[in-house]
Amino acid sequence: MITSLNGTPLSPLTFGTMQFGGTADAQESRAMFDAARAAGITHFDTAFVYTGGASETLLGDMAQADREGLIIATKAAYEGGSGRANILTGFATSQQRLKMDVVDILYLHRFDDNTPLQESFDALATLKHEGRIRHIGVSNFAAWQVMKAQAVAAQFGIRIDMIQPMHSLVKRQAEVEIFPMAVDQAIEVVPYSPLGGGLLTGKYAQGGSGRLTEDHRYAARYNVGWMHDAAAKLSALSADQGTDPATLAVAWAMAHPARPRPIVSARSAAQLAPSLDALKFEMTPDLYDRITAFSVTPPPATDRIEEA
């Protein structure tokens, strides 16, 4: 079981600070942090590459007042490969920015085909055995990559405790192998983008702007007709339910049987509020099934649909 330094458990939602120091200035970042804490969030996520280091710096300052009761995660080696030197030097910088002798979770930010896993996990083992990190995670790994890495980690007397895949109503590939693998291996699932890059908020259908209009990667990722149809159906259902589409999207993501802890984020406290409202929303089995039907359920890993 993953807890904070004083034993506080992981919250059902995770707050992602990717916007801190970027689209959210210091004042708005503080307002979002306070709103997350007021909602009971104990788990905060950042990365070495976010906003040129401002995200880690701002989060580190905010976390000091209740450091023992928070679970802080950062990520290494998004750029420069997962070699030992890059992991160790990058994490040393992250520690300085966060002002923390111990960071609760360190993720490998993505799989590196060009570096042996033995080298990467040797570095992570060094940090773990020195007491500088408490838990190890991986982000953007396929299930087979996690299992391969888990076997390598065991050689160093460590294990993978967390995984960060993409998952939302319109991105459900993680349900095929990653979620079942994580349940089997007792790995906490902390999915990102439960709002589908903002698509599931309904704002783009109303002419709004955001990642889908400002980042070509997100535009390509969600440029599929049925995804936009699903977003429209979710918006219509949210109106019938008297709630916000973002609340439904996040509550649906939380309700998966694997019990993931989705990462919510925003540019302002006002934008964040509907996602935090998911913590209080009652997602009934019937409503969950209705929302699930809006999207394409991926086939099982064996592709034997008749056995699903």
Give pairs for 26-33: CB < 8 Å, separation 24+.
26/58, 28/267, 28/268, 28/269, 29/58, 29/62, 30/58, 30/62, 31/268, 31/269, 32/266, 32/268, 32/269, 32/272, 33/59, 33/62
With a CB cutoff of 8 Å and minimum separation 6, the contacts of 274 are 201, 243, 244, 245, 246, 247, 250
- What are the CA-CA distances from residue 259 to residues 33, 253, 255, 262 (Å)? 23, 9, 6, 9
Determine what percent of the chain falls in helix, strand and coil, rounding each to the nearest 5. 50, 15, 35
218 is annotated as an active-site residue: no
Which residue from 260, 251, 253 is spatially nearest to 282, judged by alpha carbons?
251
C-alpha distances in angstroms, 36 versus 44, 61, 186, 236, 266?
9, 15, 26, 27, 11
Instruction: Find the helix or strand (DSSP H, E) in which 44 lies.
Output: strand 43-45
Q: Which of 50, 107, 204, 218 is catalytic?
A: 50
Vertex 218: Cα angle to 212 and 221 (nearest 5): 120
Q: Which residues are catalytic?
A: 50
